[in-house]
Structure 1
Amino acid sequence: LDITDANVNDAQVGRQITIEAGATYVFDKGYCHYGWWTAIAEAGSIFVTRPKSNMRLALLRDRPIAEPQGDGFLVVEDSEVSLVSKAACKLPMRLRRLRVQRETGDTITLLTNDLERSAVEIGRLYKGRWHIELLFRWIKQHLKIRKFLGNNGNAIRLQLFAAMIAFALLRIVARTRRVTIPILRFTELVAQYLFGRRKLHTIDKPPPVNPSRPRDRASPNQMAFIYE
């Protein structure tokens, strides 16, 4: 997990990665660096990315699309192209351009040096990268990290990992004890009773007005995280 300042270019981080021969690298248009792309290709590896809007490409030939339909997307173009600009010498290779229409109706363009895989396979590879974006969205929606407790990378990592571990433990408890309320609501309720005791099957119920027996009261100076 690399955490960088907001003013650090993504391509700068990408160039620090050790390239493995035969590996496939999937990244977004923020990692646009022709020298790095060339290094990946020269190592016998594959990259799949999205070109920037100002990237000029010349059509070399159209490729037949044997199977256009993928899982949630449709391949509408498969062609071989080359870079047309003063920087063409920095990317001296035949490239493959795919245009993919998603279920939402919008179309995205993919660029790769893979001339062997089918168009659907390449589209599937890039679709898999979307899980990273879903992870970031999940972190924002579920972990409820409103502010970071520290400003350095190590402090941010520790806070993220601690929040993810706590969430995972709550999911395990909710599953083993067959808690039926939504996990986010369950998390909020557990947080309310961190310093007290409450049976899990009544955690979402109002507290009793006249309890039949005295309630166990924890010391205000003692933390307790107890499941019954």
Structure 2
Amino acid sequence: MDKFTRKTSFEQWFSPINFNLFDDMVKAYHLDYYTKKLYMASFLKLLLYAQLHETESLRALSDAVFSEELQRATGLPSISFSQLGRRINAIPTVFFQSIFLDLVAQIHEKTHFQKRRKLTTPLKIIDSSTLPLNLTNHKWAEFRKTKSGVKLHLRLVFMEKRLSYPDKAVLTNAIEHDRGQLEVFIDDQECLYVFDRGYLDYERFDRMTDDGYFFVSRLRKNAVVRVLERFSLPEDSPVFSDEMVVIGTTQNRSENAFRLIKLLDTKGNELHLLTNRFDMDADEIAEIYKSRWAIELFFKWMKQHLNIKKFYGHSEQAVHNQVYVAMIVYCLNVLAQLNTNSDRSTLQISRYLKAALWKSAHIWLRKIEGMSVP
């Protein structure tokens, strides 16, 4: 990053956003037509600011524009919460989704060489998390008599040195089953996909194997299996069983043979892992499945440190937009980490940014690079 910049830390942080793409989409969707005050560039900056500060409502965001620094950054002397509400409900979700995917492409480019060099097979973890909504205001997302919610289906690229990032997301109503989304996320034969029991589908596992895709999943303990062969294990292995099996009943049995690995987790619970990789040690497969916790930590991080607990709008579009803005914020933190070769966590980077938001960018950059600030 350029240390000799007149940008504020806030401006430096969101500078990876491709504003050529931004302008093209604004024109394509006519988002600034007939706009007198709240242009899209200003609105995006407000939404990014709101995510950083976990601003709880559009009314609170409207009040925050009283800050002279925020006024200079957005070019807005003031803005009403009703104008903000109309905006977030009107913008097509594909707008924020495109910005998110462009940032993902930048992260992928910066980690591509490291990924191929350090990991024989890159890992992509698939899971989902339900975001609860108020039933009264979000009838369109009802999934139980007393509850509403949306489900964020996510694919996370798992890297070394605690670096992970989302690279694909699908938002559905919470009633949608995870299993139906699996094929959406399987598109790269060079990766090893890791997912939990919610995605079990024997027929799909056969198709993945036939098409050359590799996976590690957890199998239910009561699953019907027929053992074809047992493999030997080293004495000190945490794995106590390694077998080649076919899964399913006589009426609904897999066409391919899979590998079933059994082990105890740290709490003494028995885990049954299913994979179509036969060229790796059983211990390696067990370690790979442990990496699935990275996506659990990601969801926990999002819910604790990004503003997706309270939603600004009641429409499906507004809710989806806010979730994508939250993921944009996460990607910007990852890019700050990569661009500075920082050992700081994304949480530390975010905290230092908030502390130096309107100060010169070099102060924030030096801090996250681990250098002393004069």
1:76 aligns with 2:251: no
SS of equivalent to 2:272: strand
Partners of 1:103 and 1:13 in 2: CA distance: 30
Tell me the secondary structure at the aligned position of residue 172 of structure 2.
coil
The residue number in structure 1 matching 2:175 is 7
Give the match's secondary structure for 2:290: helix
Give the counterpart letter for 1:80 in structure 2.
M
Aligned pairs for 1:82-121 within 5 A: 82-85=246-249, 86-88=251-253, 91-121=254-284
**Which has the larger share of helix?**
2
1:87-118 Cα offsets, whole Å, 9 max, x none, are 11xx1111111112222322211011222211
SS of corresponding position for 1:4:
strand
Using CA pairs below 8 Å that are at least 6 residues apart, which structure has the higher relative contact order? 2
Structure 1 unaligned runs (5+)? 177-181, 191-199, 202-224
Give 3-state SS (helix, strand or coil) of 1:104's partner: coil
User: CA 1:168 to 1:129, structure 2 compared with 1: closer, same or farther past 3 Å?
Assistant: closer
Task: Tell me the residue number matched to 1:27.
Answer: 195
Structure-1 separation of matches of 2:196 and 2:256: 20
Contact 1:22 1:43 in 2 (8 A): no
| CA contact 1:62–1:79 (8 Å) conserved in 2 | yes
- Answering whether residue 229 of structure 2 is matched by residue 65 of structure 1, we say no
- Answer whether contact 1:67 1:120 (CA < 8 A) is retained: no
Query: How many Å separate the matches in 1 of 2:331 and 2:246?
Result: 47
Instruction: Say if 1:8 and 1:63 are closer, same or farther in 2 by CA, change over 3 A.
Output: same
Q: Which residue of 1 aligns with 2:306?
A: 143
Deviation at residue 5 of structure 1 after TM alignment: 1.5
For the residues of structure 1 that align with 2:214 and 2:329, how far apart are their CA atoms? Answer: 35
Aligned residues between the structures = 182
Aligned residues of 2:221 and 2:272 also touching (Cα < 8 A): no
1:40 and 2:205 are equivalent in the alignment: no
Provide the residue aligned with 1:160 in structure 2.
326
> Is the 8 Å Cα contact of residues 68 and 119 (structure 1) preserved in structure 2?
no
The 3-state SS of whatever aligns with 2:278 is coil
What SS does structure 2 have at the residue aligned with 1:3? strand
Relative distance call for 1:132 and 1:64 in structure 2 (3 A) is same
| DSSP-derived class of the 1:52 partner | coil
Q: For the residues of structure 1 that align with 2:274 and 2:333, how far apart are their CA atoms?
A: 37
Shift of 1:19: 3.8
- Tell me the alpha carbon deviations over residues 93-151 of structure 1, each in whole angstroms, 9 at most, x when there is no partner: 11111112222322211011222211011112211222111111122223353212243
Q: Which moved more, 1:26-35 or 1:160-169?
A: 160-169
Flag the structure with larger Rg.
1
Cα distance change, pair 40–67 in 1 and its aligned pair in 2 (3 A): farther
Query: Aligned partners of 1:160, 1:36: CA distance in 2, in Å?
Result: 32
Distance 1:169 1:81 in 2: 43
- Partners of 1:19 and 1:40 within 8 A in 2: no
Closer, same or farther: CA 170–122 of 1 in aligned 2, 3 Å: closer
Confirm or deny that 1:226 pairs with 2:366: no
